[in-house]
Amino acid sequence: MAIYNNNYYPDSRNSTWANIASLTWADSAYDWSSFNANTANATASWYYTTSSVDLGSTRTFYPTTQVSWDYSQPMYITYDYSTDGTTYYNTTAGSITARYYRTNVATASSYVGSIITQENYDPTSETYYNLNTSTLSGNVDYRTLNTNSFSSIQSIIVTPGITETRPVAGRLLSNDTGNIKLRVVNLDTWDKVAVDANVNIVVAGFPYLTTNANAGVVAVTR
């Protein structure tokens, strides 16, 4: 978990924390005729990037984040991730495979009070009991199981259902998040013959995440 409890303020009224000591009125979008209370008090969008977190090894996880600020403007949250600590890639809410990561926040508010990001490693699961695979779309060589509970699927386990008399097992053919293509085989045929069967299926994966800019959170979709 990464916790940042300091108050963060923009160093300037532009989109970075760059030093603007050398800028003059000629560099500004405003002049004296347009300068007034609204322009003086307006804060342009700015961003803050936390320090990198080292997980010790490359791992697959999904981050959730809570930001506190003055709530006057939306708070946008993204993540940078890296396997080597040098080359970083940017992503929004979802699963990440990396050793290093950091949190980015962007807002037009005047300050950010705290940034708390939690790494989550445990998948959720969905179980189908005594499912007759012939009721699924496709054919005996591959059946498609539709599930919309996961943003990314980590594993699938297929075992004989309670009414199945043959020794069967399943094989994952392709994983398109919500559409799992699998093949059930009869173990008595040395895994060579695909069959329809009554099976139990356990799917494990990471849940969908929601980014709410008005609440300043990245959280599991309920």
pLDDT tens for the 222 residues of the chain, in order: 766 665 666 653 333 333 334 444 454 444 444 444 444 444 457 888 999 999 999 999 999 999 999 898 999 999 999 999 999 999 999 999 999 999 999 998 888 889 999 999 999 899 999 999 999 999 999 999 988 778 888 889 999 999 999 999 998 888 766 688 999 999 999 878 999 999 999 999 899 999 999 999 999 986
* Same-domain status, 97 and 138: no
* Same-domain status, 111 and 158: no
* Same-domain status, 14 and 103: yes
Look at residue 26 and tell me if it is in a domain: yes
Residue 169 bridge partners (DSSP)? 185
Look at residue 211 and tell me if it is in a domain: no
Alpha carbon distance 106, 47 (integer Å): 4
* Same-domain status, 172 and 73: no
Alpha carbon distance 85, 99 (integer Å): 8
* Same-domain status, 117 and 133: no
Residue 50's pLDDT is: 92
Task: Please say which residue of 121, 148, 164 terminates a domain.
Answer: 121
Look at residue 218 and tell me if it is in a domain: no
Look at residue 50 and tell me if it is in a domain: yes
* Same-domain status, 128 and 140: yes
**Contacting residues for 165 by C-beta, under 8 A, at least 6 apart:** none
Look at residue 212 and tell me if it is in a domain: no
* Same-domain status, 139 and 114: no
Residue 179's pLDDT is: 80
Residue 25's pLDDT is: 47
* Same-domain status, 17 and 101: yes
Closest to 145 measured CA to CA, from 163, 165, 131 = 131
* Same-domain status, 83 and 32: yes
Closest to 178 measured CA to CA, from 201, 220, 148 = 148
* Same-domain status, 114 and 129: no
Q: How many domains does the chain have?
A: 2
Q: Cα 35 from chain centroid? A: 42
Look at residue 9 and tell me if it is in a domain: yes
* Same-domain status, 104 and 63: yes
Residue 94 belongs to domain spanning:
2-121
Q: For the full predicted model, state whether its pTM sits above 0.75.
A: no
**Contacting residues for 88 by C-beta, under 8 A, at least 6 apart:** 80, 81, 82, 100, 102
* Same-domain status, 108 and 161: no
Residue 31's pLDDT is: 47
Q: Which two tokens stand for residue 90?
A: 């940017």
Closest to 177 measured CA to CA, from 199, 157, 159, 154 = 154
Look at residue 215 and tell me if it is in a domain: no
Look at residue 62 and tell me if it is in a domain: yes
